Amino acid sequence: MEEKLKAIISSIEGCDKEVYNEAVKRLDSLAKPPGSLGRLESFSAQIAAIKGKLKNSLDKRCLIIMCSDNGIVEEGVASAPQNVTYFMSVNFTRGLTGAAVLAKQYHTDLKVVDLGINADLNIKGIINRKIRKSTGNFTKEPAMTRQEALQSIMAGIEMADECFKEGYDIIGLGEMGIGNTTTSAAVLSALCGIDTFLSVGKGAGLTDEAYEKKKSIIEKALKLHQPDSKDPVDVLAKVGGFDIGAMAGAFIGAAKNKMPAVIDGYISMVSALLAIRLCPEVKEYLIPSHASYEKGFQYAAKEAGFEPVLHLNMRLGEGSGCPIMFSVLDGACAIMNHMATFEEANIATEYLDNISKDKSFEVE
């Protein structure tokens, strides 16, 4: 499995630079002040470079929710009981959760994947990719074996492959797993060598006492296992989660299939960072959504090189930011697809010389 992953990673290339330059040139020729549509323009060019053509649509989109339990909840690091993972996973299929409601609102299909829910499931609408029931408690043992870590990554790549074969234009990655802000903080601290003060937040609502305990538990685990920051698979295996591995794999799979993928909140961003550490070219295929309210998100986003788009004080997870971002990207595509150039609109462009020199209209 290790060699298979290496082969996939080595096959991934960056986006089409020629198409990107062509897209930028067209955007600059559209009937508007230069750069006046801001990041909609940059996303339009990025999508063109990913797809290899100027005009694109994102009508068929999918939110993939990776679900798994985490053994670390034994240490009291979560405000909710572990069985919430199971009940929420079921309710995704019923369309009753925050992410499911937003997915429906923004015409997004949903795929719910069981990587390691701590229960026996045979439920319509939940895709079985179970590695085992829950990861281990990483204060006592590694969260998983290296082989299981690789299996989680490969499961994510396979989900992205399936979406590509089914004709999806874009995917978003979310998760469900009680305790996974703890695993994400541990992975972030291990990958970046940072103090838990920067990586650990209060998750879904920990008390101050539980928050301090959460930090100390992660510090203890990092000291115990000594994960190798230069080996992302080792980090994942020792202190990560199956959901994190699967999301990282899906981001890699999106790049493999030249398909854009949207990052959700904290756990999704840490997974994106893990994917980029495994394969730097993956970054060109990823698009951030919202700025998570979770403490470590800002550091993870900066480390991965992303600036979030939506500032809504969200911290739900589940992939809830992805469907909203899909609608923003619809606008980015519409600009390229339907706006007229100055020439097409019969507008003289001499005045642009003065606009480009005069920056007084910009916000200080």
Q: Which residues are catalytic?
A: 318
The dihedral through the CA atoms of 271, 275, 277, 278 has a sign that is positive
The answer to whether 38 and 32 are in contact (CB under 8 A) is no
Residue type at position 149: A
Q: Which of 199, 257, 188 is nearest to 12 (CA)?
A: 257
SS3 string, the chain, reads: CHHHHHHHHHHCCCCCHHHHHHHHHHHHHECCCCCCCHHHHHHHHHHHHHHCCCCCCCCCEEEEEEEECCHHHHHCCCCCCCCHHHHHHHHHHCCCCHHHHHHHHCCCEEEEEEEECCCCCCCCCEEECCCCCCCCCCCCCCCCCHHHHHHHHHHHHHHHHHHHHCCCCEEEEEEECCCHHHHHHHHHHHHHCCCHHHHCCCCCCCCHHHHHHHHHHHHHHHHHHCCCCCCHHHHHHHHCCHHHHHHHHHHHHHHHCCCCEEECCHHHHHHHHHHHHHCHHHHHHEEECECCCCCCHHHHHHHHCCCCCECCCCCCCCCCHHHHHHHHHHHHHHHHHHCCECCCCCCCCCCHHHHHHCCCCCCC
Crossing angle of the two packed helices 266-278 and 180-192, in degrees rounded to 10: 40
Please say whether the dihedral angle defined by the alpha carbons of residues 325, 327, 330 and 335, taken in this order, is positive or negative.
negative
